[in-house]
A and B are shown apart, each in its own frame.
Chain A
Amino acid sequence: MRQYTDLEQHLLNDFQHGLSLSPTPYADLAEQLGVDETTVLENLNRLQEEGVISRVGPVFRPNRLGVSTLAAIAVPGDELETVAEIVSSFAEVNHNYEREHGFNLWFVVIAADRDALQAVLTEIEARTGYRVMDLPMLQDYFIDLGFKLQWT
């Protein structure tokens, strides 16, 4: 990890929420930081090219614009890669991860509605031969104000 300038640290940490809805949000942000708009845009572009910033924009609340679930499968270790590949091949699947547990394959499935979601889960079971544990979100207790970065 490289060293970040003061300006970069402010851009990464201070604007994770509350971006302005005026026609020129980056100019507004520049004004708060006491620099010009071009400098802000150059810095944001560089951070995005480096992959430190994924994007600037809205984080949509899950399950409001489609339905999703967290799903898990307990796979014998030597079959994990094969099963993971089948699961990843579904367009509705994202964030497919190995985790250290008996349930060792965890993924998020998203679809337009609950029926479509169930169809995908059933299809994954048919194609992998393993039972899928379906863990839909019931309640969200996290108020997302961004992630406070600690510069050490």
Chain B
Amino acid sequence: MSVHDPEFERRLVEATSQGLPLVSRPYAAIAKQIGSTEARVIEGIQRIMQRDDIKRFGVVVRHRKLGYRANGMVVWDIPDERVAEVGVCIGQYNFVTLCYQRPRRLPDWPYNLFSMVHGRDRDGVIDQVKSIVEQCGLQQFAHEILFSGRCFKQRGAIYAPSQQALKQDEMIING
């Protein structure tokens, strides 16, 4: 089989996106699941990492369960020429878990930078946002905090879904 085997990679992504088994030889267990070998699985993950398609590889915790009960999606209206610099500044905080530039949708939606800010409670989130505003120098730019209300559906994203996979099972990632 060739080194770049898209079908093998798709199966590897599906299998690992649900997490590695908590057993002594997890890559061997994944290999068994997808009809491959431990060495090929490890090599495959390395290849995906080298392509920079994996953000991180390790323990994924659920913030809510650890007492970080409040989260606010904080949206900012930043001049386009400054958005990269501000994005990097906001993205560095350890209480921030996402920081994306997205398009404005005028006139309904003027905001072009989105960040997710976590806190133990609502006031905690507001305090974190205040410190971002001060430390990144964002006093003159509009922002809003959209606190989360009810959760209607939460499950990980489905990546590279085959129709079959969609019908049979959902790939759970980003718990």
By a CB distance below 8 angstroms, the chain B residues around A97 are: 148-152, 154
By a CB distance below 8 angstroms, the chain B residues around A44 are: 22, 59
Known contacts A1-B67, A54-B175, A99-B73; is A142 also within 8 Å of B98 by CB?
yes
Contact with A along B102-117 (1 / 0, CB 8 A): 1101001100011100
By a CB distance below 8 angstroms, the chain B residues around A130 are: none
What would 12 A/B residue contacts be, using CB atoms closer than 8 Å?
A: A17-B58, A54-B61, A56-B19, A58-B48, A65-B53, A87-B153, A91-B158, A94-B153, A98-B148, A98-B150, A146-B58, A146-B59
The interface of chain B, by Cβ under 8 A from chain A, is 13, 16-20, 22-28, 38, 42, 45-46, 48, 51-63, 65-67, 73, 83-84, 87-88, 90-92, 94-103, 105, 108-109, 113-115, 118, 144, 146-161, 166, 170, 172-175
Q: In the complex the two chains form, what is the Cα distance from A110 to B158 in whole Å?
A: 7
The interface of chain A, by Cβ under 8 A from chain B, is 1, 11-12, 15-19, 21, 23-27, 37, 41, 44-45, 48, 50-62, 64-66, 68, 70, 84-85, 87-88, 91-101, 103-108, 110, 112, 133, 135-149
Closest partner residue, chain B, to A62 (CB atom): B157
Q: When the two chains form the complex, which single residue of B23, B27, B57 contacts A41, counting CB atoms closer than 8 Å?
A: B23
| Least Cβ–Cβ distance between B42 and chain A, in angstroms | 5
Known contacts A53-B61, A54-B61; is A101 also within 8 Å of B157 by CB?
no
| Least Cβ–Cβ distance between A39 and chain B, in angstroms | 12
> B108–A1 contact, CB under 8 A?
no
> B152–A96 contact, CB under 8 A?
yes
Q: When the two chains form the complex, which single residue of A11, A106, A136, A144 contacts B103, counting CB atoms closer than 8 Å?
A: A136
| Least Cβ–Cβ distance between B173 and chain A, in angstroms | 7
> A23–B146 contact, CB under 8 A?
no
> B17–A57 contact, CB under 8 A?
yes
| Least Cβ–Cβ distance between B119 and chain A, in angstroms | 11
> B173–A60 contact, CB under 8 A?
yes
| Least Cβ–Cβ distance between B12 and chain A, in angstroms | 10
